Amino acid sequence: MGRPGLALGTAGRIRLHATPSGHRAVAWYRDYDGRCRQVERHAKTKAAAEAALRVALRDRARFDVGGDITPNTRVNVLAEAWFAGCKNLSPTTMQAYRNRLDQQILPGLGSLRVRELSVGTIERHLRLIADKHGPAMAKMTKSVLSGLCGLAARHDALERNPVRDTGSVENAARKAPQALTADEARRLLTAVHADEKAWKADVPDLVAFMLATGCRIGEASAVTWDGLDLDAGTAQIRSTVVRVTGQGLIRKSTKTASGARTLLLPPGAWRSYGPDLPVWGHRERAQLLLRRCSRPRSAAGATPPTRRPTYGPPSPAPGSVT
Protein backbone atom coordinates (compact mmCIF):
# COMPACT_ATOMS: atom_id res chain seq x y z
CA MET A 1 0.00 0.00 0.00
CA GLY A 2 1.37 3.43 -0.97
CA ARG A 3 2.19 6.21 1.42
CA PRO A 4 -0.85 8.48 2.15
CA GLY A 5 -0.79 11.86 0.43
CA LEU A 6 -0.49 15.22 2.11
CA ALA A 7 -3.58 16.77 3.62
CA LEU A 8 -4.73 20.14 2.28
CA GLY A 9 -2.64 22.99 3.62
CA THR A 10 0.18 20.80 4.94
CA ALA A 11 3.82 20.31 4.00
CA GLY A 12 6.04 17.28 3.73
CA ARG A 13 9.48 16.69 5.23
CA ILE A 14 11.98 19.51 4.87
CA ARG A 15 15.15 18.51 2.96
CA LEU A 16 18.38 20.47 3.09
CA HIS A 17 20.95 20.71 0.28
CA ALA A 18 24.30 22.44 0.03
CA THR A 19 24.69 25.06 -2.73
CA PRO A 20 27.67 27.13 -3.92
CA SER A 21 26.30 30.15 -2.04
CA GLY A 22 25.09 28.35 1.10
CA HIS A 23 22.18 25.98 1.67
CA ARG A 24 18.74 25.30 0.20
CA ALA A 25 15.69 24.07 2.15
CA VAL A 26 13.00 22.28 0.10
CA ALA A 27 9.59 20.79 0.93
CA TRP A 28 6.44 19.74 -0.88
CA TYR A 29 3.27 21.66 0.02
CA ARG A 30 -0.29 20.73 -0.90
CA ASP A 31 -2.27 23.88 -1.73
CA TYR A 32 -6.01 24.20 -1.28
CA ASP A 33 -6.57 23.58 -4.97
CA GLY A 34 -5.37 20.01 -4.32
CA ARG A 35 -2.08 20.36 -6.19
CA CYS A 36 1.32 19.73 -4.58
CA ARG A 37 3.99 22.31 -5.23
CA GLN A 38 7.63 22.41 -4.23
CA VAL A 39 8.58 25.35 -1.99
CA GLU A 40 12.18 26.29 -1.33
CA ARG A 41 14.23 28.97 0.39
CA HIS A 42 17.95 29.76 0.30
CA ALA A 43 20.28 31.05 3.04
CA LYS A 44 23.93 30.93 4.04
CA THR A 45 23.40 28.38 6.82
CA LYS A 46 21.23 25.27 7.20
CA ALA A 47 19.38 26.73 10.15
CA ALA A 48 18.63 30.00 8.37
CA ALA A 49 17.41 28.21 5.24
CA GLU A 50 15.13 25.92 7.24
CA ALA A 51 13.76 28.83 9.28
CA ALA A 52 13.03 30.82 6.13
CA LEU A 53 11.21 27.84 4.60
CA ARG A 54 9.07 27.31 7.69
CA VAL A 55 7.97 30.95 7.55
CA ALA A 56 7.13 30.58 3.86
CA LEU A 57 5.09 27.43 4.53
CA ARG A 58 3.25 29.15 7.36
CA ASP A 59 2.30 32.07 5.16
CA ARG A 60 1.44 29.96 2.14
CA ALA A 61 -1.91 30.85 0.59
CA ARG A 62 -4.50 28.41 1.85
CA PHE A 63 -6.89 28.40 -1.08
CA ASP A 64 -6.81 28.63 -4.89
CA VAL A 65 -3.71 30.42 -6.06
CA GLY A 66 -5.83 32.56 -8.37
CA GLY A 67 -8.01 33.90 -5.52
CA ASP A 68 -8.46 37.62 -4.88
CA ILE A 69 -7.77 37.58 -1.12
CA THR A 70 -4.84 35.65 0.32
CA PRO A 71 -2.72 35.93 3.47
CA ASN A 72 -0.30 38.05 1.43
CA THR A 73 -2.98 40.53 0.32
CA ARG A 74 -2.47 44.04 1.64
CA VAL A 75 -5.02 45.28 4.16
CA ASN A 76 -5.82 48.28 1.96
CA VAL A 77 -6.86 45.93 -0.85
CA LEU A 78 -8.94 43.87 1.59
CA ALA A 79 -10.60 47.05 2.85
CA GLU A 80 -11.70 48.14 -0.61
CA ALA A 81 -13.04 44.66 -1.37
CA TRP A 82 -15.05 44.69 1.86
CA PHE A 83 -16.41 48.20 1.31
CA ALA A 84 -17.45 47.37 -2.24
CA GLY A 85 -19.50 44.48 -0.85
CA CYS A 86 -21.47 46.65 1.60
CA LYS A 87 -24.99 46.77 0.19
CA ASN A 88 -28.39 48.07 1.28
CA LEU A 89 -26.97 50.35 3.95
CA SER A 90 -28.02 53.92 4.62
CA PRO A 91 -25.89 56.75 3.19
CA THR A 92 -24.88 57.83 6.67
CA THR A 93 -23.68 54.33 7.58
CA MET A 94 -21.70 54.05 4.36
CA GLN A 95 -20.16 57.46 5.00
CA ALA A 96 -19.25 56.46 8.56
CA TYR A 97 -17.59 53.24 7.34
CA ARG A 98 -15.69 55.15 4.65
CA ASN A 99 -14.47 57.68 7.21
CA ARG A 100 -13.23 54.96 9.56
CA LEU A 101 -11.35 53.29 6.71
CA ASP A 102 -9.76 56.50 5.45
CA GLN A 103 -9.02 58.11 8.81
CA GLN A 104 -8.28 55.26 11.24
CA ILE A 105 -7.72 51.88 9.56
CA LEU A 106 -5.82 52.51 6.34
CA PRO A 107 -3.29 55.03 7.78
CA GLY A 108 -2.37 52.62 10.59
CA LEU A 109 -2.87 49.15 9.13
CA GLY A 110 -3.25 49.58 5.37
CA SER A 111 0.29 48.51 4.47
CA LEU A 112 0.19 45.29 6.50
CA ARG A 113 -0.42 41.87 4.99
CA VAL A 114 -3.65 40.13 5.96
CA ARG A 115 -1.64 37.40 7.74
CA GLU A 116 -0.15 40.10 9.98
CA LEU A 117 -3.55 41.05 11.44
CA SER A 118 -3.01 39.39 14.79
CA VAL A 119 -5.04 39.90 17.94
CA GLY A 120 -2.21 41.91 19.49
CA THR A 121 -1.78 44.16 16.46
CA ILE A 122 -5.47 44.99 16.33
CA GLU A 123 -5.69 45.44 20.10
CA ARG A 124 -2.86 47.97 20.13
CA HIS A 125 -4.40 49.86 17.22
CA LEU A 126 -7.82 50.08 18.90
CA ARG A 127 -6.28 51.26 22.17
CA LEU A 128 -4.42 53.99 20.31
CA ILE A 129 -7.63 55.15 18.66
CA ALA A 130 -9.50 55.09 21.98
CA ASP A 131 -6.81 57.23 23.61
CA LYS A 132 -6.64 59.69 20.73
CA HIS A 133 -10.25 59.90 19.53
CA GLY A 134 -12.36 58.38 22.29
CA PRO A 135 -14.12 55.06 22.88
CA ALA A 136 -17.00 55.74 20.48
CA MET A 137 -14.58 56.08 17.56
CA ALA A 138 -12.71 52.97 18.68
CA LYS A 139 -15.93 50.93 18.85
CA MET A 140 -16.94 51.82 15.29
CA THR A 141 -13.40 51.16 14.06
CA LYS A 142 -13.55 47.75 15.75
CA SER A 143 -16.83 47.01 13.98
CA VAL A 144 -15.33 47.86 10.58
CA LEU A 145 -12.19 45.83 11.32
CA SER A 146 -14.37 42.87 12.27
CA GLY A 147 -16.03 43.09 8.87
CA LEU A 148 -12.66 43.14 7.11
CA CYS A 149 -11.28 40.18 9.07
CA GLY A 150 -14.53 38.26 8.64
CA LEU A 151 -14.20 38.59 4.87
CA ALA A 152 -10.58 37.43 5.04
CA ALA A 153 -11.57 34.42 7.18
CA ARG A 154 -14.28 33.45 4.66
CA HIS A 155 -11.57 33.39 2.00
CA ASP A 156 -9.31 31.26 4.22
CA ALA A 157 -6.79 34.09 4.33
CA LEU A 158 -7.16 34.05 8.14
CA GLU A 159 -7.83 31.05 10.33
CA ARG A 160 -10.33 33.02 12.39
CA ASN A 161 -11.53 36.55 12.98
CA PRO A 162 -8.93 38.03 15.38
CA VAL A 163 -11.12 41.02 16.25
CA ARG A 164 -13.39 38.72 18.27
CA ASP A 165 -10.55 37.99 20.70
CA THR A 166 -9.70 41.63 21.38
CA GLY A 167 -10.76 43.27 24.61
CA SER A 168 -13.91 45.30 24.99
CA VAL A 169 -13.77 49.05 24.50
CA GLU A 170 -14.87 50.84 27.65
CA ASN A 171 -17.41 53.57 27.13
CA ALA A 172 -16.81 56.93 28.72
CA ALA A 173 -19.36 58.04 31.28
CA ARG A 174 -22.15 59.86 29.48
CA LYS A 175 -23.43 63.16 30.71
CA ALA A 176 -27.10 63.18 31.56
CA PRO A 177 -29.18 64.97 28.91
CA GLN A 178 -30.16 68.48 29.93
CA ALA A 179 -33.32 70.06 28.59
CA LEU A 180 -33.95 73.76 28.30
CA THR A 181 -36.11 75.28 30.99
CA ALA A 182 -39.25 77.15 29.98
CA ASP A 183 -37.49 80.44 30.65
CA GLU A 184 -34.46 79.42 28.56
CA ALA A 185 -36.75 78.38 25.70
CA ARG A 186 -38.48 81.78 25.76
CA ARG A 187 -35.15 83.60 25.77
CA LEU A 188 -33.96 81.47 22.85
CA LEU A 189 -37.08 82.25 20.82
CA THR A 190 -36.78 85.94 21.64
CA ALA A 191 -33.14 85.98 20.51
CA VAL A 192 -33.72 84.23 17.17
CA HIS A 193 -36.78 86.37 16.41
CA ALA A 194 -34.74 89.50 17.05
CA ASP A 195 -31.92 88.42 14.74
CA GLU A 196 -32.47 89.64 11.17
CA LYS A 197 -30.18 87.06 9.59
CA ALA A 198 -31.88 84.23 11.49
CA TRP A 199 -35.30 85.55 10.47
CA LYS A 200 -34.40 85.59 6.78
CA ALA A 201 -33.18 81.97 7.03
CA ASP A 202 -36.43 80.83 8.77
CA VAL A 203 -34.45 79.87 11.88
CA PRO A 204 -37.15 81.13 14.31
CA ASP A 205 -39.73 78.78 12.80
CA LEU A 206 -37.33 75.85 12.77
CA VAL A 207 -36.38 76.42 16.42
CA ALA A 208 -40.02 76.83 17.44
CA PHE A 209 -41.02 73.64 15.65
CA MET A 210 -38.21 71.69 17.33
CA LEU A 211 -39.25 73.02 20.74
CA ALA A 212 -42.87 72.10 20.09
CA THR A 213 -42.16 68.56 18.85
CA GLY A 214 -38.82 67.48 20.31
CA CYS A 215 -37.59 66.54 16.83
CA ARG A 216 -33.95 66.35 15.91
CA ILE A 217 -32.74 69.09 13.61
CA GLY A 218 -32.44 66.70 10.65
CA GLU A 219 -36.00 65.45 11.16
CA ALA A 220 -37.39 68.96 11.48
CA SER A 221 -35.54 70.07 8.35
CA ALA A 222 -37.04 67.18 6.37
CA VAL A 223 -40.69 67.96 7.18
CA THR A 224 -42.74 68.42 4.00
CA TRP A 225 -46.04 70.15 3.46
CA ASP A 226 -47.87 66.88 2.84
CA GLY A 227 -46.68 65.71 6.25
CA LEU A 228 -48.46 68.55 8.06
CA ASP A 229 -52.16 68.34 8.93
CA LEU A 230 -53.09 71.81 10.07
CA ASP A 231 -56.69 70.82 10.84
CA ALA A 232 -55.73 67.90 13.07
CA GLY A 233 -52.65 69.66 14.41
CA THR A 234 -50.25 66.82 13.58
CA ALA A 235 -46.86 66.50 11.92
CA GLN A 236 -45.55 63.32 10.28
CA ILE A 237 -41.87 62.53 10.79
CA ARG A 238 -40.89 60.17 7.97
CA SER A 239 -37.38 61.18 6.96
CA THR A 240 -34.31 63.13 7.97
CA VAL A 241 -31.74 65.31 6.25
CA VAL A 242 -28.10 64.21 6.36
CA ARG A 243 -24.88 65.42 4.77
CA VAL A 244 -22.97 62.94 2.60
CA THR A 245 -19.51 63.68 1.23
CA GLY A 246 -19.66 64.23 -2.51
CA GLN A 247 -23.46 64.56 -2.52
CA GLY A 248 -24.18 67.37 -0.08
CA LEU A 249 -27.44 67.37 1.86
CA ILE A 250 -29.79 64.52 1.04
CA ARG A 251 -33.18 63.48 2.40
CA LYS A 252 -33.52 59.85 3.49
CA SER A 253 -35.98 57.73 5.41
CA THR A 254 -35.64 57.36 9.17
CA LYS A 255 -33.11 54.81 10.38
CA THR A 256 -35.72 52.45 11.86
CA ALA A 257 -39.45 51.88 11.38
CA SER A 258 -40.10 53.21 14.88
CA GLY A 259 -38.46 56.47 13.86
CA ALA A 260 -41.34 57.19 11.47
CA ARG A 261 -44.09 58.65 13.62
CA THR A 262 -46.95 61.12 13.73
CA LEU A 263 -46.65 63.83 16.40
CA LEU A 264 -49.49 65.79 17.92
CA LEU A 265 -48.54 69.44 17.99
CA PRO A 266 -49.20 71.16 21.32
CA PRO A 267 -52.10 73.64 21.31
CA GLY A 268 -49.73 76.52 21.93
CA ALA A 269 -48.12 75.86 18.56
CA TRP A 270 -51.27 77.10 16.85
CA ARG A 271 -51.60 80.20 18.94
CA SER A 272 -48.29 81.57 20.20
CA TYR A 273 -45.84 81.39 23.04
CA GLY A 274 -46.68 85.04 23.67
CA PRO A 275 -48.20 87.98 21.88
CA ASP A 276 -44.94 88.74 20.05
CA LEU A 277 -43.63 85.17 19.57
CA PRO A 278 -45.69 83.30 16.96
CA VAL A 279 -44.69 79.67 16.49
CA TRP A 280 -46.54 78.53 13.39
CA GLY A 281 -48.38 81.80 13.03
CA HIS A 282 -52.07 82.21 12.44
CA ARG A 283 -53.83 79.01 11.40
CA GLU A 284 -55.81 80.61 8.56
CA ARG A 285 -52.70 82.20 7.04
CA ALA A 286 -50.81 78.91 7.33
CA GLN A 287 -53.61 77.08 5.50
CA LEU A 288 -53.55 79.67 2.71
CA LEU A 289 -49.79 79.32 2.43
CA LEU A 290 -50.09 75.52 2.44
CA ARG A 291 -52.52 75.58 -0.50
CA ARG A 292 -50.32 78.03 -2.40
CA CYS A 293 -47.08 76.09 -1.79
CA SER A 294 -48.58 72.70 -2.52
CA ARG A 295 -48.66 73.46 -6.24
CA PRO A 296 -46.42 72.79 -7.92
CA ARG A 297 -44.63 70.34 -5.63
CA SER A 298 -41.05 69.22 -6.26
CA ALA A 299 -40.49 65.71 -7.61
CA ALA A 300 -39.10 64.42 -4.32
CA GLY A 301 -41.92 65.97 -2.29
CA ALA A 302 -39.56 68.30 -0.47
CA THR A 303 -40.59 71.68 0.80
CA PRO A 304 -41.23 74.16 -2.02
CA PRO A 305 -37.96 75.80 -3.14
CA THR A 306 -37.49 79.54 -3.36
CA ARG A 307 -34.59 80.63 -5.58
CA ARG A 308 -32.75 77.31 -5.37
CA PRO A 309 -33.69 73.88 -3.97
CA THR A 310 -32.77 73.64 -0.29
CA TYR A 311 -33.63 71.39 2.61
CA GLY A 312 -35.06 73.03 5.66
CA PRO A 313 -38.32 73.88 7.34
CA PRO A 314 -41.27 74.91 5.11
CA SER A 315 -39.96 77.99 3.39
CA PRO A 316 -41.36 80.55 3.65
CA ALA A 317 -42.53 79.10 6.96
CA PRO A 318 -46.04 79.82 8.18
CA GLY A 319 -44.73 81.67 11.20
CA SER A 320 -43.11 84.30 8.96
CA VAL A 321 -46.27 85.16 7.00
CA THR A 322 -47.47 88.68 7.53
Helix or strand holding residue 144 (H, E): helix 135-154
Beta-strand (E) ranges in the chain?
15-19, 22-30, 36-43, 228-229, 234-237, 239-244, 248-253, 261-264
Q: Return the pLDDT at 186.
A: 87
Q: Return the pLDDT at 223.
A: 80
Verdict on whether the full-model pTM lies above 0.85:
no
List pLDDT tens digits, range 59-91: 775 444 445 788 888 999 999 999 988 888 888
pLDDT tens, residue order, the chain (322 aa):
567 788 877 889 999 999 999 999 999 998 777 788 999 999 999 999 999 999 888 777 544 444 578 888 899 999 999 998 888 888 888 889 999 999 999 999 999 999 999 999 999 999 999 999 999 999 999 999 999 999 999 988 898 999 999 998 877 677 787 888 888 888 888 888 888 888 777 788 788 888 888 888 888 888 877 777 777 778 888 888 877 777 778 777 777 777 788 888 776 554 433 333 333 333 444 444 334 333 333 434 444 333 333 444 433 333 333 2
Q: Return the pLDDT at 26.
A: 95
Q: Return the pLDDT at 310.
A: 46
d(CA 316, CA 293): 9
Closest CA to 129 of 161, 170, 80, 89: 170
Kindly list the domain boundaries of the chain, sorted by start residue: 15-58, 75-165, 182-320
Q: Return the pLDDT at 268.
A: 56
Fold classification of 75-165 is: DNA polymerase; domain 1 (1.10.150)
Judge whether 155 and 63 are in contact, CB under 8 Å.
yes
Q: Return the pLDDT at 112.
A: 93
